[in-house]
C-alpha cells in the first residue's frame, strides 16, 4: 500500500542517518596512545673506537668504518696527539667519511687540557650532528637515536680526565654523578631499549692503566644495568663477559677478580643480567702490551695487544628493539675477530 511504502522509506532514511552518526562518532574517538617503544624493524648501526692519531693506522681504520656504512661513529677520545693538528684531523675524518656522518666526540686526556690539542677546536670542526643532544658536547652529553621512538640512548661522560682546571668531579653524589645516573634512569623509564655509555678511560683493563674511571662510578653503571660501556685510553682491544653486582658481588674491586661478579660468560647474553665493557683503544696509534698475568683477566672474554694478536680496528654494533649485536672488525693487515650478542627478555 502507498502508506506502507512511505513508512519503509522513512525507516531507510533514519537507518542511513544513524549509520552516518555512528561512523563520525567512531572516527572522532581518540585511539590508544602511541606505543613508546620503537617499531620492531627500527635499527641503529654505529661504530666506535678511540686513540686515533693522524697516521696511516688511523686512515686504515677510517677505511673500515667507511666500508661498514654506519649511521654514526663514536670517537672515544685522543684524536691528533699534537696541538695544532685539529684541522688536519678533522679533514682526515671528513675526507674518509664525508661531512654528513655524525662523527660524535668525547674528549680524551690528550686534548682535554690543551697540551696535545684542544677539544674545543675538535668540536668546532666536527660538531654534533645528532638532533636532540643534551649536555656539553665533547665533554658530557647524551642523545637518543633515533630522536623519535629511540632504540639507544648514548651517554658520553669524562670521569678520570684532567682539564685545565683539574679533573671533573664524578664522585658519588656529585653533580656529574647525578647527571649520569639521571640520564640512565630516564632512559629506562622512557622504555628506550638500550643504554650505551662511552668515556675515554676504562676501569678494568689488561693494559697499562689502573681504574682511572673510578670504582664507585663503574659500579654505579653496573648497578643501573647499563647494557654496554665503551672506552679507549689503553691502546688494546678487550671485551668483558657480562658483569653484575648483587648479594654475591657487592661491587667490582679493581686489580682483583671475583667469579661471583660474572653473570654470563659466553657470547650470547640476556639484557638485565649485567654490563659488558669494551675498550677499543685501537683506532690508529701504536698498541700497548697485554699484561698476561693481570688479576682482572678473569673478567674478560677477549683481549688483543702489541704482544698478543695485535690489531687496529673498530667495534661495529647493530641494535634493534630486541637485539644488540657487536663485532670487532680489524683494519687491513690484521686478523683479530670477536663478536657478542645481547637479547632483550
Q: DSSP letter string over 233-252?
A: SSSSEEEE-EE--SSS-S--
**191 belongs to a structural domain:** yes
**195 belongs to a structural domain:** yes
pLDDT in tens, 312-321: 999 999 999 9
CA of 64: how far to CAs of 57, 179, 230, 341, in Å?
Answer: 11, 34, 19, 21
**9 belongs to a structural domain:** no
> Under a CB-based contact definition with an 8 Å cutoff, are residues 314 and 281 in contact?
no
Is residue 229's pLDDT more than 80? yes
**25 belongs to a structural domain:** no
pLDDT in tens, 248-285: 999 999 999 999 999 999 999 999 999 999 999 999 99
Helix (H, G, I), strand (E, B) or coil at 184: helix
Q: Taken in order 67, 91, 313, 270, is the CA torsion positive or negative?
A: negative
Cell 636532540: give the residue.
132
**276 belongs to a structural domain:** yes
**5 belongs to a structural domain:** no
pLDDT in tens, 233-252: 999 999 999 999 999 999 99
Closest CA to 74 of 189, 9, 155: 155
Number of domains in the chain: 1
**Distance separating alpha carbons of residues 198 and 201, to the nearest angstrom:** 9
**157 belongs to a structural domain:** yes
What is the residue range of 261's domain?
40-343
**Distance separating alpha carbons of residues 154 and 129, to the nearest angstrom:** 13
The enclosing domain of 65 has a CATH number of 3.60.21.10
pLDDT in tens, 101-117: 999 999 999 999 999 99
State residue 286's pLDDT score.
Answer: 96
> Under a CB-based contact definition with an 8 Å cutoff, are residues 226 and 259 in contact?
no
Amino acid at each position: 500500500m502507498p502508506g506502507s511504502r512511505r513508512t519503509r522509506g522513512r525507516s531507510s532514511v533514519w537507518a542511513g542517518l544513524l549509520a552516518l552518526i555512528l561512523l563520525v562518532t567512531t572516527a572522532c574517538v581518540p585511539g590508544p596512545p602511541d606505543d613508546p617503544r620503537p617499531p620492531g624493524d627500527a635499527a641503529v648501526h654505529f661504530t666506535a673506537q678511540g686513540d686515533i692519531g693522524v697516521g696511516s693506522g688511523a686512515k686504515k681504520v677510517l677505511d673500515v668504518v667507511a666500508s661498514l656504512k654506519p649511521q654514526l661513529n663514536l670517537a672515544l677520545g685522543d684524536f691528533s696527539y699534537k696541538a695544532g693538528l685539529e684541522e688536519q684531523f678533522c679533514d682526515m675524518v671528513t675526507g674518509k667519511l664525508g661531512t654528513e656522518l655524525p662523527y660524535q666526540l668525547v674528549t680524551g686526556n690528550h686534548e682535554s687540557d690543551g697540551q696535545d690539542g684542544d677539544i674545543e677546536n675538535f668540536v668546532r670542526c666536527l660538531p654534533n650532528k645528532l638532533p636532540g643532544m643534551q649536555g656539553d658536547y665533547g665533554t658530557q652529553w647524551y642523545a637518543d637515536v633515533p630522536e623519535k621512538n629511540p632504540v639507544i640512548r648514548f651517554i658520553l661522560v669524562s670521569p678520570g680526565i684532567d682539564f685545565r682546571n683539574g679533573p671533573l668531579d664524578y664522585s658519588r653524589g656529585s653533580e656529574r654523578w647525578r647527571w649520569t645516573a639521571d640520564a640512565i634512569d630516564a632512559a629506562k623509564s622512557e622504555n628506550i631499549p638500550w643504554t650505551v655509555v662511552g668515556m675515554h678511560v676504562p676501569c678494568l683493563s689488561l693494559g697499562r692503566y689502573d681504574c682511572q674511571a673510578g670504582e664507585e662510578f663503574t659500579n654505579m653503571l653496573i648497578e643501573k644495568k647499563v647494557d654496554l660501556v665503551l672506552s679507549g685510553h689503553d691502546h688494546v682491544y678487550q671485551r668483558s663477559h657480562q658483569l653484575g653486582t648483587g648479594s654475591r658481588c657487592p661491587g667490582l674491586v679493581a686489580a682483583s677478580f671475583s667469579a661471583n661478579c660474572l653473570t654470563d660468560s659466553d657470547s650470547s647474553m640476556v639484557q638485565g643480567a649485567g654490563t659488558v665493557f669494551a675498550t677499543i683503544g685501537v683506532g690508529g696509534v701504536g698498541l700497548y702490551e697485554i699484561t698476561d698475568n693481570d688479576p682482572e683477566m678473569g673478567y674478560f672474554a677477549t683481549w688483543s695487544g702489541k704482544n698478543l694478536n695485535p690489531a687496529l680496528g673498530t667495534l661495529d654494533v647493530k641494535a634493534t628493539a630486541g637485539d644488540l649485536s657487536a663485532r670487532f672488525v680489524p683494519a687491513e693487515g690484521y686478523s683479530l675477530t670477536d663478536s657478542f650478542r645481547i637479547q632483550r627478555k
